[in-house]
Amino acid sequence: MFRLNTVISLCVLCRVSLCINLKFPPLFQFGAATSSYQIEGGWDADGKGENVWDRLVHSKPELFSGNATGDVAANSFHKWREDVKIAAELGLQFYRFSISWARILPTGFPNKINKAGAKYYSDLIDALLDEGIAPFITLYHWDLPVKIQDLGGWTNPLIVNWFGDYARVVYSLYADRIKTWLTINEAIIICDYGYNSGVFAPNVKEQIFAPNLCNKHALLAHAKAYRIYDTEFRPKFNGRISLANNLIWIEPRTPKDEELAKLGREYMAGRFAHAIFSKNGGWPPSIEKVMLKNSLAQGFTHSRLPAFTEEEKEFIKGTADFLAMNYYTTYTIRPGKKGEITEFLFLKSLPDLDAVLEPPPNSYYGVSRVMPIYPQGIRRQMVWLKKHYGDIDIVITENGYSSSGQLDDYNRIDYYEKHLEQVHLAMEVDKINITGYAVWSLIDNFEWLDGYSTKFGIYDVDFKDPDRRRTPRASAHFYACLIKTRALNNTCLNKDLLADSLSAMRRNSRNNAETFGSGVYFVLILSLVKFILFY
């Protein structure tokens, strides 16, 4: 009885994960994610065409912190071998990266394929496979070729076929080596930020029709790419394909706001998930209803939300082999007051719902002031997904913490620990089929409007150094330990152990910019022995 009471007391005093070994199943995969424009650089190298972010950073530098551009970024176009070594040193099971549409097809169209750009990704894929790391490709992560944007971009219905043509080219180049694909990353962000508020590329400010057209065409373009793979490539290569959804969990501000919160969840998650994973397809009925009501009240004769035909619903339905989920934040929702509703800008309000979004009262922040941290939200979002769409396979394709760049980033480790605890609870208690998790990001990158002032990498990149030297943060050791032990426990969270191993990682990084050295795992094992003997 004394021993039992002691254990209970210790578990009350310390975090659950320090008292209970939270093991992840053998088939659960750990990875890391990046995107082409954010890390590659080489913006006009070897025949690459211009994309919408190239155009925006050069034409309106004042929009970006420090007038930053992605012209060089982390220079992964030239330092990809080092990135592969970093991924291998961590023990990643998969590495998610995106293809630059304009690097493969400089004009956006398949009549001109850039062989040098195609070789760049081919070499990267082969190097990852040589290290036993599965390449996980995103076809489109926001960097639309300007030639296509000049024709209307995502508001032009022809983009459905244009995207399908691009997808077919990429499949033809790499499907023999790629088993997991994402078509589009966070289409809601593309449409609501790029074509609504216009704060992101392509910098279109048209709040009435453009974002809704964009969302519809993105769904159809995704489905087109899926159907092409399904019929032309899956029989031979048997890969899996989905699209990545940016899922922001919505809580009611007060208990009386629960009905509005339900509507907010459908708006934020259901606009894409319902069309693909529901039995009936199309937009969520609750969103169709409120959009029609508001459109008529605004003097329009039809809903501003473009309808799907029955044929289009069937075309989109079922076009995902798993649900890819990016999670960063949670917001509360309440009805807006007169004059309070603003444009959809960094989650201040949802004008389509006459609603205001506010951070949860008990949330906290990293450097980014638009992403309040609320770890419980990741589990609640997945419970909601299972309730609405059944026992689907979920892969968490992004989850990350923003910092100002310190190497001893224990706050980031705490962030990952708390979110992974929630993931583990969702798997063990809620019986949700979660099969993978990727940190955002492998390395620091161009963080859109924040430029290089906000850091998400578990590896630091020195953007003042022409060589863009990579240095492992404390979180890199934590993640390597997590992958190796496949568990959240005191081993990976102990600061003394972490400091010992991390100093070796950094020493090896300084000695050779192309590798961390083979000694890091030996140091980790030695540190574990020290812990067992002396703690």
Give residue 531's pLDDT.
Answer: 35
What global pTM score does this model have? 0.91
Q: Which residue's entry shows tokens 């954010």?
A: 38
Of the residues 186, 417, 421, 447, which is catalytic?
A: 186
d(CA 103, CA 145): 9
Task: Specify the higher pLDDT residue, 512 or 348.
Answer: 348
Per the annotation, the verdict on 398 as an active-site residue is yes
In the predicted model, is pLDDT for residue 520 greater than 80?
no
Give residue 343's pLDDT.
Answer: 62
d(CA 7, CA 87): 38
- Which residues of 408-486 form beta strands (DSSP E)? 434-440, 459-461, 470-472
Least confident of 94-103, 344-353, 458-467: 344-353
In the predicted model, is pLDDT for residue 484 greater than 60?
yes
pLDDT digits (tens, 9 = 90+) for 140-189: 999 999 999 999 999 999 999 999 999 999 999 999 999 999 999 999 99
Give residue 267's pLDDT.
Answer: 98
Cβ atoms of 262 and 251 within 8 Å: the answer is no
Per the annotation, the verdict on 310 as an active-site residue is no
Give residue 490's pLDDT.
Answer: 84
Tell me: cis bond preceding 202? Omega within 30 of 0 counts.
Answer: yes
Give residue 392's pLDDT.
Answer: 97
Burial annotation 15-51 (CB, 10 A radius, 16+ → b, else e):
eebbeeebebeeebbbbbbbbbbbbbbbbeeeebbbb
Strand partners, 356: 334, 349
Q: Average the pLDDT over 84-113 and give the result.
A: 98
Of the residues 82, 266, 312, 398, which is catalytic?
A: 398
d(CA 237, CA 478): 35
Give residue 348's pLDDT.
Answer: 81
Domains of the chain with CATH codes: 19-249+319-534 (3.20.20.80)
Mean pLDDT of the chain: 91
Give residue 524's pLDDT.
Answer: 36
In the predicted model, is pLDDT for residue 242 greater than 60?
yes
Token pair belonging to 1: 């009885």
